[in-house]
Amino acid sequence: MKSPSQPRDRGIPEATVARLPLYLRALNGMAERGIATVSSEDLAAAAGVNSAKLRKDLSHLGSYGTRGVGYDVEYLVYQISRELGLTQDWAVAIVGVGNLGRALANYGGFVSRGFRIAALLDADPEIVGDDIAGLNVEHIDELEAVIGRRGVSIVVLATPAVAAQEVCDRVVSAGVTSILNFAPVVLSVPDSVDVRKVDLSIELQILAFHEQRKAGGPLMAVDSQ
Amino acid sequence: MKSPSQPRDRGIPEATVARLPLYLRALNGMAERGIATVSSEDLAAAAGVNSAKLRKDLSHLGSYGTRGVGYDVEYLVYQISRELGLTQDWAVAIVGVGNLGRALANYGGFVSRGFRIAALLDADPEIVGDDIAGLNVEHIDELEAVIGRRGVSIVVLATPAVAAQEVCDRVVSAGVTSILNFAPVVLSVPDSVDVRKVDLSIELQILAFHEQRKAGGPLMAVDSQ
DNA sequence: ATCCCTTTGTGAACCGACGCACAAAGTCGC
DNA sequence: GCGACTTTGTGCGTCGGTTCACAAAGGGAT
């Protein structure tokens, strides 16, 4: 016998966590369009996944659907937001204000989802002092002070590759345990620190691999099978 | 007989393909530092993976190591490059020249790996005609013509969300079968088309989830590991 | 109130990926 | 030339994730 308010299972599979933001976005779109209830089938279609998978994912958060009806859009938005920790606001610092850092600072998708850019930092004196997305770019020397003073808990690394590890070390020393890394290097951090990596060129290389396959690559001419 | 050229297995696991670029980067770094040979242990450490996994990954391309010695760095670079299709040069078009598109256009990691930005396209007349990263921004009306004329085979979508599906449809009609999508929407495409998605805000949300856990989220008791 | 229809939540089979651990293969020193 | 040592390549147990398929649960119609 499970109490309906059974707090969600503490062990949510990583694969599920990675899809929750997808569901959340789809649900937000539906809420805006005034849709009150949605079936797993429809929501799965909107998120581009299999409906059984979606139901299993949601079941990890608790039993929030109604059989024969579906899920209440607004309630589900709230539950997923809470699970992802988006009901609080997260102070994010972006280190490295080159082209990419600038793009990130201006990217609306962050702010709209519980994230607040609390600082922009760079080492280049040419850039320090600039105003970008309504924020003043501060010098990297201020890193630790800024992190402490503004309660930064997530850092985005958009520095050149050579600087990434050093900045990372300082950030970790300052107590940050969540890092989003855009620099094309493998960061070494303590186990307690979470690093997610986004590498634009890797994605392209994976595409190239498949494209080569489809095209029947130059060297794979006659010998297949 | 240099040719144990067991034509590499055609069925390379997706997970392996996703790691090959990682190995390639590590190997390139070693080559630059003049390292001629590397063991699976060392290369695995540099790429941040388990050495058994690395050996199994490489074994899918063929038997390119020497027992008791390791792998020849330069030869392995060549083999992986060839497998990924990086020995040819790929013409890439970037559609959407906002902050992100600009950052991508200026990102050096592409060019250095067999990718050539062949076109920048945008719908905004304010932007069309600008020179960015040495390229002239062209109007989106030219999309099909540019794709055909310059042999573009990979398209990067960096448009606003609302425009993405429409541009995607046109791109697919023009014969492109590989798309890297930065717009926060689920694109609908034929099965024959490959779409990879990069979503910056999703990565942050995943970090927030783990951060909340670590911090002992609002409803969370004492059981964090 | 009862029956039928819809949709959830999940048991269970399946599939791919991971990593251990070891035999095979090759090098190097003597 | 030979034996000890190093390192690859892989068989195999395990695990997490995906999917199918269905019983249970609820709503609505009559």
Give the torsion through C-alpha atoms of A51, A55, A57, A63, to 10 deg: 170
Pick from B82, B88, B196: CB nearest A203: B196
Predicted local distance difference test score (pLDDT) of residue A10: 63
Query: CB A9: neighbour CB atoms within 10 A?
Result: 11
Which amino acid, one-letter code, is at B193?
V
Using the CA of B51, give the nucleotide whose C1' is nearest.
C19
Helix (H, G, I), strand (E, B), or coil: what is residue A100? Answer: helix
Task: Return the beta strands (E) in B130-222 as ranges.
Answer: 131-132, 135-139, 154-157, 178-181, 194-197
Which pLDDT band, with edges at 50, 70 and 90, does B1 fall under?
very low
Residue nearest to nucleotide C4 (CA to C1'): A68
Test B217 with A85 for CB contact under 8 angstroms: yes
Q: What tens digit of pLDDT does each residue of B100-152 get? A: 999 999 988 877 778 999 999 999 999 999 999 999 999 999 999 999 999 99
CB < 8 Å to B85, chain A: 208-209, 211-212, 217
Q: What is the mean pLDDT of chain B?
A: 90
Q: Could you tell me how many residues make up chain A?
A: 225
pLDDT attached to residue A1: 32
Beta bridge partners of B178: B154, B194
**What is the CA B70 to C1' C30 distance in angstroms?**
23
What is the tens place of the pLDDT at every residue in A38-95?
999 999 999 999 999 999 999 999 999 999 999 999 999 999 999 999 999 999 999 9
Contact A122, A137 (CB under 8 A): yes
Q: Which residue is nearest to nucleotide C24 (CA to C1')?
A: B67
Cα B8-B11-B12 angle, rounded to 5 deg: 80
- The model's pLDDT over B195-225, given as tens digits with 9 standing for 90+, comes to 999 998 999 999 999 999 987 754 444 433 3
Contact yes or no for A199 and B21 at CB 8 A: yes
- How far CA B161 is from CA of A19, A141, A202, B78, B184, in Å, comes to 19, 37, 23, 38, 6
Residue B10 and residue A218: Cβ atoms within 8 Å?
no
Which of A177 and B9 is assigned the larger pLDDT?
Answer: A177
**Measured CA A66 to C1' D23 distance, in angstroms:** 16
Would you tell me which residues have their CB within 7 A of strand D?
A 13-16, 49-50, 52-53, 55-56, 66-69; B 38-41, 51-52, 55-56, 58-59, 63-71
Closest residue, chain A, to B80 (C-alpha) = A209
Residues of B with Cβ-Cβ distance to A196 under 8 angstroms: 203, 206-207
Q: How confident is the model at residue B38 (pLDDT cuts 50, 70, 90)?
A: very high
Q: In angstroms, rounded to a whole number, what is the distance separating the alpha carbons of residues B202 and A115?
A: 11
Q: Which of A47, A113, A194 sits opposite B201 (nearest CB)?
A: A113
Chain D nucleotides with an atom closer than 7 Å to a protein C-beta:
5-11, 16-21, 24-27
Three-state DSSP at B150 gives: helix
- Measured CA B67 to C1' C28 distance, in angstroms: 13
Return the pLDDT at A166. Answer: 98
A206 touches strand C (CB under 7 A): no
Cβ contact B198–A194 (<8 Å): no
Residue A215: per-residue pLDDT: 77
Q: Which residues of chain A have pLDDT under 70?
A: 1-10, 217-225
In the structure, what pLDDT confidence band is assigned to residue B10 with cuts at 50, 70 and 90?
low
Contact A153 B99 (CB under 8 A): no
SS in 3 state form for B12-76? Answer: CCHHHHHHHHHHHHHHHHHHHCCCCEECHHHHHHHHCCCHHHHHHHHHCCCCCEECCCEEEHHHH
* Alpha-carbon span B79 to A139, nearest angstrom: 43
Q: In A62-101, which positions are buried (b, 16+ CB within 10 angstroms) versus exposed (e)?
A: bebbeeeebbbbeebbebbbbbbbbeeebbbbbbbbbbbb
Please report residues of A whose CB lies closer than 8 A to that of B223: 10
Mean pLDDT of chain A: 91
CA of B23 to C1' of D3 (A): 35
B36 CB closer than 7 A to any strand C atom: no
- Asked if pLDDT for residue B18 goes beyond 60, the answer is yes
CB A198 to CB B198 under 8 A? Answer: yes
Residue type, B30: M
Question: Which string of DSSP letters, residue by residue, matches A32-91?
Answer: HTT--EE-HHHHHHHHTS-HHHHHHHHHTT---EETTTEEEHHHHHHHHHHHHTTTS-EE
- Rounded to 5°, the CA angle A165-A168-A172 comes to 140
CA distance A101 to chain B (A): 9
Shortest Cα distance from B113 to chain A (angstroms)? Answer: 8
Look at the block and give the residue holding tokens 């190995």.
Answer: B23
Q: How confident is the model at residue B8 (pLDDT cuts 50, 70, 90)?
A: very low
What strands lie across the sheet with A70-72, from one edge to the other?
A37-38, A70-72, A65-66
Nucleotide nearest B37, CA–C1', reads D7
